[in-house]
């Protein structure tokens, strides 16, 4: 496995940009890498991703020097292990609402002594035939694998100050759409001052703990603004960008 340069950029205080898609097609992964993005994230929560697809997705990302990440559908240690063993370099976990959820996530991702991840002759460990010995591999994985719980439920706000203190996490990703839903706004987060206020409070708590703040951006202009404001982990929607570009293409093509 290649080194996780994404983690190093975040440690250096640099903004990182990537795309998320409910599709693990290696061609898409290579394309995103060739475009110059920092990472590509497969959406195993909302997409029909199977574990046996993940290895080739990771291989494609590594060929193009882009970090393979995953949003995994549940905080299940055995499922998380399969993604990591395939080569995933970071996990964004939905459904986090308390300290115990965060601790469970860290334990699943980190090898001992930081966690409880099992070790075997798998792809992420170069099948135990690489140049690293076991100790070197374990130390490198514990240092470089990103742990990114999501803040997307108003109920989690009460424990957020405790959650950010859990050892082993790198940051929190704010999910504004589900957050707004949890606050009773089924029309989305836009235009609701209470949602904006909660997001601002969450960002303050996360940054105060020295952790990375991440969220989604609909376009490059918003992404640029987010990074300038200190939100370093920016996620774009591949399907959203494709829809926008395809719509513009069709509209321009049909101009009379």
Residue 156's domain is classified under what CATH number?
3.20.20.60
* Per-residue pLDDT tens digits for 40-94: 999 999 999 998 899 999 999 999 999 999 999 999 999 999 999 999 999 999 9
* Per-residue pLDDT tens digits for 112-165: 999 999 999 999 999 999 899 999 999 999 999 999 999 999 999 999 999 999
* 62 in a structural domain: yes
- Phi, psi for 184 (deg, rounded to 5): 95, 5
Give residue 256's pLDDT.
77
Identify the band that residue 1 occupies on the pLDDT scale cut at 50, 70 and 90: low
Q: What angle do CA 152, 69, 166 make, to 5 degrees?
A: 55
Token pair 């513009």 is at which residue? Answer: 248
* 142 in a structural domain: yes
d(CA 225, CA 228): 5
- Tokens representing residue 172 in the block: 């929190």
Residue 4 has pLDDT above 90, yes or no: no
> Looking at the 3D structure of the chain, how many domains does it have?
1
Q: Name the burial class of residue 41, with classes exposed (0-12), middle (13-18) and buried (19+) by CB atoms within 10 angstroms of its CB.
A: buried
* 208 in a structural domain: yes
d(CA 236, CA 209): 25
* 210 in a structural domain: yes
Q: Give the range of the structural domain holding residue 27, as residue numbers without chain letter.
A: 5-245
* Per-residue pLDDT tens digits for 160-190: 999 999 999 999 999 999 999 999 999 999 9
d(CA 132, CA 127): 11
- Tokens representing residue 190 in the block: 């836009």
94 by DSSP, 3-state: which? Answer: coil
Mean pLDDT of the chain: 96
* 250 in a structural domain: no
From start to end of the chain, where are the E strands? 16-21, 39-43, 67-71, 90-93, 146-151, 171-174, 212-216, 233-237
Q: Name the burial class of residue 127, with classes exposed (0-12), middle (13-18) and buried (19+) by CB atoms within 10 angstroms of its CB.
A: exposed
Give residue 255's pLDDT.
87
* 92 in a structural domain: yes
* 255 in a structural domain: no
Token pair 């991702």 is at which residue? Answer: 109
* 78 in a structural domain: yes
């Amino acid at each position: 496995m290649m080194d996780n340069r994404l983690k190093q950029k975040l440690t250096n205080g640099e903004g990182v940009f990537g795309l998320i898609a409910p599709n693990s097609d290696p061609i898409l992964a290579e394309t995103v890498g060739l475009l110059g993005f920092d990472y590509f994230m497969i959406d195993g929560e909302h997409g029909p991703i199977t574990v046996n697809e993940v290895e080739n997705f990771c291989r494609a990302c590594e060929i193009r020097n882009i970090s393979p990440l995953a949003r995994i559908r549940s905080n299940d240690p055995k499922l998380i292990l399969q993604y990591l063993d395939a080569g995933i370099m970071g996990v964004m976990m939905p459904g986090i609402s308390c300290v115990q959820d965060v601790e469970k996530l860290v334990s699943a991702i980190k090898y001992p002594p930081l966690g409880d991840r099992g070790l075997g002759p798998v792809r992420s460990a170069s099948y135990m035939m690489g140049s690293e010995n076991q100790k070197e591999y374990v130390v490198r994985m514990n240092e470089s694998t990103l742990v990114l719980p999501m803040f997307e439920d108003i109920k989690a706000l009460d424990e957020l100050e405790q959650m950010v203190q859990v050892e082993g996490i790198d940051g929190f990703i704010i999910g504004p759409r589900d957050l707004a839903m949890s606050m009773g706004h089924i029309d989305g987060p836009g235009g609701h001052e209470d949602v904006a206020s909660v997001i601002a409070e969450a960002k303050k708590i996360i940054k105060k703990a020295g952790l990375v703040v991440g969220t989604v951006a609909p376009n490059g202009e918003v992404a640029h603004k987010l990074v300038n404001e200190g939100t370093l982990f920016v996620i774009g929607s591949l399907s959203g960008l494709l829809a926008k570009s395809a719509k513009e293409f069709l509209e321009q093509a049909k101009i009379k």
